[in-house]
């Protein structure tokens, strides 16, 4: 299986190299980011998940301690919300940790043709922090709603409200990193206003 992965990786590098030489930037971006995401999910995601879930739980716990609404058991990646008769353990697994979003963002960024390497390093760092903080905010909102409205609100808090907040922040990040510079930096050609005296 590992041999197959290595062969696929070499083929992917060759295809990216060919697309670079032929200056097919759009296809290089698509194949490059999807391919890199695929290989990172296979090789790096198992290593990243546990420390990231612990980091998310620990950072969420700071807000929980500050507000007094929930406790963090960061060693086990658990947030524990307890009030009156309601008690719920929020388990942070790899789909909650933001690791997939971080990898997807990073992969797109590193094959995005508009930035140089230094810009990508800076934007990648900023993007990681934004996604991490957006996830913390999402979990804080879920825990706050459960604390005030009980276990019955969990489905709405988690499935609808928390995700909307997270998606809005992610879309804002993608807009500022990908969409806005494409519009600003693309060549629109020279233009002049017509001479009003003529």
Q: Which residues bind another protein (CB under 8 A)?
A: 13, 16-17, 20, 26, 29-30, 44, 47-48, 50-52, 54-55, 71, 73, 75-78, 80, 82, 85, 87-93, 95-96, 98, 100-101, 104-106, 108, 110, 112, 117, 120-121, 124-125, 128, 135, 138-139, 142, 151, 154, 158, 162-163, 166-167, 170-171, 173-175, 177-179, 182-183, 186
Nearer of residues 69 and 108 to another protein, judged by Cβ: 108
5-43 CB burial, b ≥16 within 10 A, e <16: eeeebeebeeebeebeeeeeeeebbebbbebbbbbbeee
How many beta carbons lie within 10 A of that of residue 91, not counting itself?
A: 13
Closest CA to 147 of 90, 81, 89, 92: 81
**Nearer residue to another protein within complex by CB, 7 or 163:** 163
Which of 87, 133 has the CB closer to another protein?
Answer: 87
Q: How far apart are CA 188 and CA 109, in angstroms?
A: 23
């Amino acid at each position: 299986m590992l041999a197959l992965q290595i062969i696929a990786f070499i083929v992917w590098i060759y295809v990216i190299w060919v697309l670079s030489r032929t200056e097919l930037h759009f296809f290089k971006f698509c194949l490059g980011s999807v391919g890199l995401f695929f290989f990172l999910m296979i090789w790096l995601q198992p290593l990243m998940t546990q420390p990231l879930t612990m980091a998310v739980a620990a950072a969420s716990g700071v807000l929980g301690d500050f507000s007094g609404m929930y406790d963090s058991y960061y060693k086990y990646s658990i947030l524990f919300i307890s009030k009156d008769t309601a008690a719920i353990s929020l388990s942070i697994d790899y789909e909650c940790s933001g690791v997939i979003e971080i990898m997807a963002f990073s992969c797109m960024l590193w094959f995005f043709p508009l930035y140089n390497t230094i810009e990508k390093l800076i934007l990648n760092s900023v993007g990681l922090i934004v996604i991490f903080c957006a996830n913390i905010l999402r979990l804080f909102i879920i825990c706050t709603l459960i604390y005030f409205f009980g276990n019955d609100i969990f489905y709405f808090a988690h499935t609808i409200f928390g995700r909307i907040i997270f998606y809005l922040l992610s879309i804002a990040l993608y807009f500022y990193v990908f969409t806005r510079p494409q519009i600003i930096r693309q060549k629109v050609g020279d233009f002049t206003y017509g001479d009003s005296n003529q």
